[in-house]
Amino acid sequence: MIYTVNLYSSVLILAFISLDRYLAVVRATNSQAMRKRLASKVIYLGVWLPAAVLTVPDLVFARAQNTGSSNFLFMDQSMETGDSRTICQRIYPQESSLIWTVVFRFQHILVGFILPGLVILICYCIIITKLSQGAKPQALKKKALKTTVILIVCFFSCWLPYCVGIFLDTLIMLNVISSSCELQQAVETWISVTEALAYFHCCLNPILYAFLGVKFKKSARNALTVTSRSSQKATLMTKKRGPSVSTESESSSVLSS
C-alpha cells in the first residue's frame, strides 16, 4: 500500500510541478492566484486522492505468502523455490487472474507514465518555446533551456524503458507476441534492470528540481554565507569578551549559591 502511494504520488507531483512552472513562465502576469490554488487545494485532488484510490487493489488482493511452499503463484506463473521467505504480493482469483493482471498493468502504464509524461512534455515544450522567444539575456536563457531539457530527458530515460518492458511482458501474457524461453528471460531481465532505473529517478528528483534551480542555488549560497559570517562574528565576540564572560558566570554562580 505504501509502495503504491509513493509510486503514483511521486510521478503525479512531477506533473503538477511542470504545470506550476508553465503558469509561472508562460502566464506570469495573472497566474499567482491560480498557482496558490494549485498548491493548496488542487494538488490534493490531483495527486493524493488518486494515489490513495489506486491503493484499493492492494487492500483487496494483497496477501502475505511463504515462498518456501511447494508451489506459489508469482506473476501468474507457478515457480519452484528452495528459499523460505515471506513476500507480500497481489493474489488474484484463479479464474480471472490474467484479466486482473493485464488491467492493473495497463493502469500502471497509463496513470504512472503516459498521463504525467504527456503533461510534463507539453508543459515543458511550451516553456522552451516561450523562453526561446523571450528577451532575457542569452546566458540566463541557455541555463533555463538546459535545465528544462534535462528534466524531460531524465524523466523519459528513467521511466520509458521500464514501461516498455511491462508492456512487452503483458503482450506475451496475452499471446499477442509468440513467447519463447529466451524471449521470456530477456524480458524479465530487462524489467529487473529498468525497474531499478525507474526508481532511481526518485533519487534524482531533489537534484533536478532543487539544485539545478538558479534561485535555490542563490538562496543556499546566501544562507551558507550568512551562517558562516554569523559564526565568525560570534567567535570573535567570544574571544573579545572571554574574561568578562567568565567573570560574569562566576559571579552569577556565587549569587546562586
- Per DSSP, the residues of 217-228 read HHHHHHHHHHHH
In which band, very low, low, confident or very high, does the pLDDT at 24 lie, cut at 50, 70 and 90? Answer: confident
Q: What pTM was estimated for this model as a whole? A: 0.71
CA–CA gap between residue 254 and residue 257 (Å, rounded): 5
CA–CA gap between residue 114 and residue 201 (Å, rounded): 16
In percent, the amount of the chain with pLDDT more than 70 equals: 73
> Helix or strand or coil: residue 119?
helix
* Residue 254, in any domain of the structure: no
* Residue 238, in any domain of the structure: no
Dump pLDDT digits (tens) for 179-234: 888 898 999 999 999 999 988 888 887 777 776 666 666 766 777 776 555 555 55
* Residue 240, in any domain of the structure: no
Dump pLDDT digits (tens) for 99-136: 999 999 999 999 999 999 999 999 999 988 888 876 66
**Least confident piece of the model among 86-95, 135-144, 232-241:** 232-241
* Residue 33, in any domain of the structure: yes
* Residue 251, in any domain of the structure: no
* Residue 142, in any domain of the structure: yes
Q: Domain limits at 138?
A: 2-228
Residue type (1 letter), 196: A
Instruction: Answer whether 134's CB lies under 8 Å from 145's CB.
Output: no
Mean per-residue pLDDT over the chain, rounded: 77
In which band, very low, low, confident or very high, does the pLDDT at 90 lie, cut at 50, 70 and 90? Answer: confident
- Greater confidence (71 vs 170) lies with 170
Instruction: Answer whether 167's CB lies under 8 Å from 109's CB.
Output: yes
* Residue 250, in any domain of the structure: no
CATH number of the domain to which 172 belongs: 1.20.1070.10
CA–CA gap between residue 86 and residue 32 (Å, rounded): 50
Give me the mean pLDDT over the 1-16 stretch: 85
* Residue 216, in any domain of the structure: yes
**Number of domains comprising the chain:** 1
